[in-house]
Structure 1
């Protein structure tokens, strides 16, 4: 069987593997292997085995790895490339995590060029396989969450500058849905409201931010946020 034209791995918001745009059932152990490779790229067999099966003997972990590779190859031989020492996803596999990471970095580095900003919000949705409890995911999940939130806030700022307030607010609120305690996301939403001339909405967003920070941390919004509405919001 030849390599398909389209293999895509989704890890943001949950796991899925599509071959020729059709979903494929993947055994759990094989899912974890694909997820690890999709997030971290090529790895040595010993590193993979130690990451995915840390509580078993090395020979059993290596055997589990071989089984997972075999199961993936039964789905299609064009998904993983394995040598005696390393395993990686084939270069033809589309991986949403890598696409999101590249797009977010371009946005943050001001290198988006003429790409339309309005479709970018959809690329920054969903945490990294949120239903997986594995310890090895903790750092990767937080790294990607922070990158996604920074990208959404920057996207809101760029769209506000373009006068596309509805889309800018959507990006800011997407960041708030991901983390309601994030003051910079509240600030991004306030700036959209102010730019659009919706003073009441801006004050309401500030009050919400103020209430959350007081309840959760016993602190007030920072001067960077408070000064946006200086003279417009009476102390509470």
Structure 2
């Protein structure tokens, strides 16, 4: 959940915001403790995708996040700069957009809808382009 939260928030988030959102019940100290525990469990599992300091968490510089790839693809279609590979890509099928299935936190639902809307906008642009041909 922690990795997903940081990734879905642009790859960088304040520790306090992450703790409060992921562990909303209870007080700030307990949420901060839960965050520290989650960070420790990630490291213990050999998952080294986050940089953290006293104030923030961030995805490591060269971490590839599929959501960012999707947004890049959609942005190129919307902006009219799509490559031949972008135009032939059917990798962004509807089922590929069901991020974090079974997760119903507000922050997940919001991002899931944002991704659907971005994809829809990109496909509408592609449809307009094909209709002109």
State the TM bucket, normalised to the shorter chain: 0.7 to 0.9
Aligned partners of 2:49 and 2:59 also within 8 Å: yes
CA change 1:91–1:123 in 2 (3 A) is: farther
**Matching residue of 2:79:** 109
Q: Give the counterpart of 2:50 among 65, 68, 80.
A: 80
Quick one: distance in 2 between partners of 1:95 and 1:60? 29
Which runs of 5 or more residues in structure 2 are unaligned? none
Give the number of the structure with larger relative contact order, counting CA–CA contacts within 8 Å between residues 6 or more apart: 2
Q: How many residues align?
A: 130
**Matching residue of 1:142:** 113
Quick one: distance in 1 between partners of 2:6 and 2:63? 11
Q: Give the counterpart of 2:31 among 55, 61, 65.
A: 61
Which runs of 5 or more residues in structure 1 are unaligned? 1-31, 163-236
Aligned partners of 2:77 and 2:126 also within 8 Å: yes
Quick one: distance in 1 between partners of 2:12 and 2:20? 15
After the TM superposition, which parts of structure 1 deviate over 6 Å for at least 4 consecutive aligned residues?
Answer: none
Q: In structure 2, the residue corresponding to 1:136 is in which secondary structure?
A: helix
**Matching residue of 1:38:** 7
Q: In structure 2, the residue corresponding to 1:146 is in which secondary structure?
A: helix
TM-score by length of 1: 0.50
Quick one: distance in 2 between partners of 1:143 and 1:97? 11
1:136 to partner: Cα distance: 2.2
**Superposed CA offset, 1:121-140 (max 9, x none):** 21353223231011222322
**Superposed CA offset, 1:67-88 (max 9, x none):** 1111111222531111111111
Quick one: distance in 2 between partners of 1:52 and 1:65? 8
